[in-house]
Structure 1
Amino acid sequence: MAELFIQFDDNRLMSILCGEYDRHLTQIEKALEVQLLRRGNQITIVGEEAPAQDALDVLEALYERLEGGRPVESADVDRELRMGHPAEPESGPSDQLEMFGRGSYEIKTRKKVIEPRTDAQKAYVKALFEHELAFGIGPAGTGKTYLAVAVGVSMFIDGKVDRIILSRPAVEAGERLGFLPGAMEDKVDPYMQPLYDALNDFLPGKQLAKLKEEKKIEIAPLAFMRGRTLSNAFVVLDEAQNATTMQMKMFLTRLGEGSRMVITGDRSQVDLPRGVQSGLAHAEQLLGNIPDISFSYFTSSDVVRHPLVRAIIEAYDDDAQKAIARQQRQQQQ
């Protein structure tokens, strides 16, 4: 067992670091299986040598954030716990990416600053800025769409693109909703709501409404992309696993001069009719060896929603693996 000590000069910053009712300290204790004892402006770390040192590094990094004028919330604690080892990128960060702290990035939008919370997210964000066509593939809750929209807003604010176009297939998730009332926009809005949620996180309501009215931001079903050439735009296709192979080809060939395109999807949540091949899986097989196209992959360890989401995804993955094993044993018999 090791016993390490860390002392903070500013009691106000230390109070923020510890969180309300020391909830940030509790979060670190649970994640690293150490004990943190707070006395005055000093914290004592008790535990195995390696986890204790990790806890010390996390506390130092969080305090450094506060000294730099950045906030510390539960999400920031989670990020430091996940990304406790600094890793310099192979090349310098892009103009729109500001590097700070222990090799992390931040994406600036009108309402908030977004920071990747896992190594996979950091690599994904870097790929979005450096590649004209990028894929983000992984389970729900890993930030694929959220980060893509954040990068799009950042590039739009910086004048790197003239507009943002967000799309997803209008496919029902396992249930028939029947005919929806209203005009075209009213009919498709329920399918597009996750994209609106992301935009509302990054742009003030009045500005978002004005940009939509001016067609600087468009949200439309995948079927409405046919025949268009998308130039000087940041284009995101969400839920791409529900696009057919022909729809995927149609969408990818919309890429125009000066544009960036991001395709996100989860191979385990295909809602297409039985026997219809997913355009995402087909594109992955077909385009995986093209150097200028980036593929970023996420796993359950990259889930940044509620901790239970990660446990749920792992349980379903384990069940799927067991089903495959059973099927293979039956075939052998």
Structure 2
Amino acid sequence: MLQQDDVLILESRDSIHKMLALEASMKCGDGEENAASNEGVNSLWRQKVALWCYQVVDHLEEERSTVYVAMNILDRFCSALHSRAGMDEHAYEVASMTALFLAVRIAGSGNLEMSELLSMSRKGISSQDIMLTGTSIIETLDLSKRILTPFDFIASLADHLPLSLKADASRLRDSACYLAEMAVCDTVLSSFKASEVAFVAFVNSIEEMVSKSEASVFGSFVAKATDIIPSSSETARISRRLRGIYQKQRQDSRSPSAQQAEAQPVVAHAHSPLVRVVSVDDLQEFSKQRSGLKRCQSEYSLDEDYQMKRSRYHD
């Protein structure tokens, strides 16, 4: 007779198989989409936008996984436009804001108003700009399927931890989520599958916080339950890149401002909800101006540089 833990593992295995099948059907992270978009977009623009998105979703109290959805939409849209025309900085900013707006609508609370979003931008961007770009995104991309995030996979992968690591499951999961948050900001890592980033984030966390031998055991457990290959060239490249980013982040965190940010409470990640499809007609409704804006323009303008809040995994 199956024990409760065995049932949970079987359910988790079924869940991760379904997610991997959906990821494969959408050709997510095959390297082609984002490689094309990266040729026409300054990587500094992209990093700046990702950090800005984290600031906005923290203020709105949205799940931080919403930023991954926004950047996924943005990268795919830029890739689709790359073969047709270039994109200047202003157009990229409009596309970024629109992608975040759509991400909150389809994978977040859905409570973000266009007027509030515009208050967080610099002057010169209008609701009409968001409307036109939103229409173009909806007509260009298929947003009818759930956009899987690394955090969805991390939640399922946590169920495949060996017994020796179960006591540290919560700490390891938080660490993996933090590494995945950093990966969202990186142009190179955006070209890899969410499942691969999630797996490597978990492995790197185990190696850093426990031991390499335990990370190897975890990798073998995952390999038996999924088609993720622990020793593939992709996972090796992600691991090197993620370690480099993390080491740089640790060096930067020595500043007083970064140490103060480490006092921020941990924000839990949740699974992405079932997709809510946004239509062009919806955009017309969302564009209506509302009162009660939460922030003034200067606080969240993309003109400014922001550092991502370190919400988890502290030394």
TM-score, length-scaled by structure 1: 0.25
Which structure has the larger Rg? 1
- Relative to total residues, which structure has the larger strand share, 1 or 2? 1
